Structure 1
Amino acid sequence: MKPFMQQDWIVRIFGRLNEVQCNLGQEPTPPVDANVRFADVLDSMGMVELLALLAEDCGVKPEAIEQAAKRRFGTIAELAQALHAAGLAPLAPAAQQASSPQSQTVTASWLLATAVKLPEAVQPASAINEALHRPQHWLEEHAGILQRRIWKDQDPLTAAVQAGQECLKRAGLAPQEVGALLVTSEAPPLMIGLAAALHSRLELTADAVAIEIGGACTGFLSALWVAQSLLPLTRYLLLQPGPPGEAAALFGDAAAACLVGEAPTGPSAVPLRAVALGCDGSGASLLRVEHHPQRLFALHMRGMELAGRAVNAMAQAVQRLLQEYDLKVEDLAAVVSHGGNGRMPSLLARKLGLPPERVWSETETTGNLGSASLPVAWAARESRPPGPVICTAVGAGLTWGAAMLGTPH
């Protein structure tokens, strides 16, 4: 096999660039000038997709492409030169080895019910653009967010309690039957004692434990993992993701509640088959919350790198569960995706090879809801197709995870 030279890389990059542009509904850039600047033909999320494709070609992670280019993406020729100098080259086509399924156990846990409370106030993207002194359509085009929900004058604790009460009602259970309350929130309305406050307002018994779960945007999946572990000790666990309460442009507000039990109760119960979690602390610098001199805290995000890592991690988490149950991606009824922004779900769909309508997310119309994003997207689809559904998210740290709901069809 002849060496892969710099000119070969130029041809490959043009090919992948045109593929991304077609996915985004853009006119392909003619492969005539290698000095075309990426900034003139792709935005940041388009660049995330391009790097993911090039990394896939080489059998490496997107970070390897970023490191080869020293995180500077000027022209096509410059990127080709950097990749060639780093010794990177596309892998030769090879037959995929069949994965041997891991041992399975019959599920002993069920997602019994889900309830959501969204804020009444809707803030359109135009108002956010104006507040940030950005041009018209900036947030829509860059982040794929058309509007977000914000609590404004509503009490988020009251909304969370209402979601919990509605969840119990749908499952046909009384508060006294709940054995544990698991709460997760990225910007809690109470700095301490949030779980205890919700426990009191929901009128749970003193024997029902109240635990606050971390994990940022993966908090819901972490709570599911803990719930499965606790089920041998208690019959029913109430999960309360949200309310986020973030003020940054990407984030919206919501409250959700999910009930997990050891046996089906109520008309909407579905099997909770597996929860898989992962962590890579080397990505901690991609998303940080730090003290700020003028404000209490400031959010720092390396957006393009974070989005690339997030999409790759969610795709791998989905594939891990598929392999465990000897399934293919086309066997899934849908994937419920956390959306760091409104464009990430469609990027994940292309990464997995799924039609965009089979990757569910509400981020486009709610903003990034943090740990509440998965139950909100799940609850929005009351009529669901048969077959398994995988929920997946990435959170600060970086942490990631996936959960399989339903039974293979």
Structure 2
Amino acid sequence: MMAHFYSRVLGTGSYLPRIYVTNQMLAKKLAQHGIETSDEWIVARTGIHSRYFAPPEQATSDLALIAARRAIVESSIDLQAIELIIVATSTPDFIFPSTACLVQAKLGIHNGSAAFDVQAVCSGFAYALAIADGLIRSGMYRNALVIGAETFSRLLDFKDRNTCILFGDGAGAVVLTASDRPGMLSSALHADGRHAHILCAPGNVSGGIVHGSALLHMDGPAVFKLAVNILEKVAREALAKADMSADQIDWLIPHQANIRIMRGICRKLGLPLERMIVTLSEHGNTSAASIPLALDVAVHDGRIKSGDRVLIEGVGGGFTWGAVIICM
């Protein structure tokens, strides 16, 4: 098979589940456990006003399915032309099979396409996008569906106001295709397992029993300190690989974790805040879904246009981090 030099984004899609949760609603839930918080406290520390939770009957694959269908419609690609499906998630439906295989079946793709999950938490979409780009460039596949999907609300400890206020559920997707025009311009991926303990869900299943805790644990100050430094470095690494300067970037889409981290990265890169896409206020932190959700919102509201250069970057448990530069 002849190798293709580039991959390009053909279409984007996203989905948010139906349970809308404001800060005021969350404060009432925490009050049931004797924990005080308020809309003002949450907004001041995070920039989040609301988020969406999936109902019990809706799995991560269901969210991914709707986002995928929307991206496929936007791309005008035939379902059976999709040869590769990658789902970035830390909240799969099952231990196995992969959520990607479940999405493949629900989409009705029966062409033997490859399907697998990527687990890099909040960096997951950057990882998945870089993997798909590399496989398309190699000539192994021509069309890929890349999804970030999470039901993070199911990992939250609603007795810990420092973490449960941050996260929400959702999904975002892109269709990539081989092209003779530049699309994915560069990528940079990293991890450092020495920091695994500062952001984790430290439980495992053995003999049908959960050992340890299956709920999210985070050392907020440690994560904040690490994130700001490594996100600037990985962004500059991706820029150097693309032979670009920061002022050549039209849009920055950072992982939607905390508005203070996001603004800090913008300042360090010398970009005006107006060039940063922010959906954190309405969506909260949707982990691997946050970047593709924000990308889809900005594409469909007309901010991101064909030819725009977009820098995406994320940092997550593992500890993982990565950046990708896209020419839309």
TM-score range, shorter chain: 0.7 to 0.9
Please show how residues 238-387 of structure 1 align to structure 2 within 5 Å: 238-246=145-153, 247=156, 248-263=164-179, 271-291=183-203, 297-382=214-299, 383=302, 384=304, 387=308
Report what 1:230 is aligned to: 135
Does residue 51 of structure 2 align to residue 134 of structure 1?
A: no
Partners of 2:281 and 2:230 in 1: CA distance: 21
Do the aligned residues in 1 keep the contact of 2:189 with 2:323 (CA within 8 Å)?
Answer: yes
Match of 1:184 among 88, 91, 95: 88
Contact 2:53 2:151 survives alignment (8 Å) = no
Residue in 2 aligned with 1:145?
48
2:159 aligns with none
Deviation at 1:243, TM superposition (A): 2.3
Unaligned runs of 5+ in 1: 1-105
Measured in 2, the distance between the counterparts of 1:130 and 1:295 equals 28
Matches within 5 A, 1:166-205: 166-193=70-97, 194-205=99-110
Q: What are the Cα deviations for residues 85-107 of structure 1, in whole angstroms up to 9, with x where unaligned?
A: xxxxxxxxxxxxxxxxxxxxx95
Deviation of 1:294 (Å): 10
CA distance in 2, matches of 1:302, 1:291: 17
Corresponding residue for 1:117?
A: 15
Cα contact 2:5–2:179 (8 A) shared by 1: no
Larger radius of gyration between Structure 1 and Structure 2: 1
**What percentage of residue pairs aligned between the two structures are identical?**
24
TM-score with structure 1 length normalisation? 0.68
CA contact (8 A) 1:244 1:370 kept: no
Q: Counterparts of 1:262 and 1:159 in 2: how far apart (Å)?
A: 26
- Distance across 2 between alignment mates of 1:118 and 1:237: 22
Matches within 5 A, 1:64-79: none
1:164-216 alpha-carbon deviations (Å, 9 max, x no partner): 12211111111110111111212123332222211111111242011111111
SS class of match (1:402): strand
DSSP 3-state at the match of 2:298: coil
CA distance in 2: counterparts of 1:135 and 1:158, whole angstroms: 32
CA distance in 2, matches of 1:163, 1:270: 25
Q: Say if 1:332 and 1:389, in contact at 8 Å, map to a contact too.
A: yes
Cα distance between partner residues in 2 of 1:309 and 1:255: 26
Residues 118, 255 of structure 1: 8 Å contact kept: yes
Match of 1:388 in 2: 309
| Per-residue deviation, 1:118 | 0.9
Contact 1:151–1:245 (8 Å) recurs in 2 = no
* Per-residue deviation, 1:295: 8.5
- The change in CA–CA distance for 1:244 and 1:153 in structure 2 (over 3 A counts) is closer
In the alignment, which residue of structure 2 is the partner of 1:161? 65
CA distance in 2, matches of 1:135, 1:174: 49
Contact kept? 2:83, 2:111, Cα under 8 Å: no
What secondary structure does 1:360 align onto? Answer: coil
Aligned pair count reads: 298
Kept in 2, the 8 Å contact 1:392–1:401? The answer is: yes
Alpha-carbon separation, structure 2, partners of 1:207 and 1:189? 21
Task: Go from structure 1 to structure 2 and tell me whether the alpha carbon gap of 1:360 and 1:154 turns closer, same or farther (over 3 Å shift).
Answer: farther
| Among 210, 213, 216, the residue aligned to 2:115 | 210
Of the structure 1 ranges 173-182 and 130-139, higher mean CA displacement relative to structure 2 is found in: 130-139
- Give 1:270 shift: 7.7
